[in-house]
Amino acid sequence: TEIYTLSLHDALPISTAATPNLPKYLGMEDFGFIQNNETVCSQITSPLIITVIHSARHHFAYRKAIRDTWGSVTAHKTWAIRKVFILGSQNVEVDGPENYNRTLDQEIEKEHITHGDIIISDFHDSYRNLTIKHLVGYKWVLKYCSSAVFVVKTDDDMFINIFELVSHLSTKLYAPRPRQISCHQWEDTPKRYGSHKWRVSHDEYSEDSYPPFCVGAAYITTPARSEEHTSELQSHHDIV
């Protein structure tokens, strides 16, 4: 039984219409890597799948669960499989000195020394900054793992049947189209109320419904499409 739902769709265009009166973040070139492993994808001759996993800084148990299960698989059939966890950083100006957790930084550093799979970028790690985390993951793939055939994006609370995934890629998607995204497509409306974690104000997005979109819990794409996403947003100069 497949644990994920995938259906192939043409990539959805990204709107570049300006959004007035909203704060802007810096361009992608301003986000670097303050903890990294540049060799995750090096010296691999087999077709490569790289899994980019969004993780919260304090989710040590989640990352361990992945490493102990599906994340422990580094090869299946003719494929090489690698993974990285993408994290943001703490920001004393945002969090406040009283909330800055130096011990958390030290524990994450120890985790990375042991496993070598933690990538930290210098943006503030928060739920509202998941868009930046997403694009930082693309940036890492393009810089350090562009040889991958497929990029799998997922979250640290997802379980992927890695054997079914490889079978799916081998029989249905290989070889990939350059602009390919394989995902579960969804339709939804903006959440306008209270403190909902998905709340979007009318100033941020004025329409009554979103265009069809890929569910972010898991999808499959390619380095070429990742580069297009990044370039399209860069052409807008700022990331909202």
pLDDT 10s digits, 55-110: 999 999 999 999 999 999 999 999 999 999 999 998 766 666 667 788 999 999 99
User: Where does the pLDDT of residue 117 fall: very low under 50, low under 70, confident under 90, or very high at 90 and above?
Assistant: very high
What pLDDT does residue 116 have?
Answer: 96
The overall average pLDDT reported for the chain is: 82
Is the pTM higher than 0.85?
no
Provide CB contacts within 8 A for 102, sequence distance 6+.
none
Predicted pLDDT of residue 198: 85
| Per-residue pLDDT, 171 | 80
**Could you read off the pLDDT of 143-188 as tens digits, one per residue?**
999 999 999 999 999 999 999 999 988 887 665 566 778 888 999 9
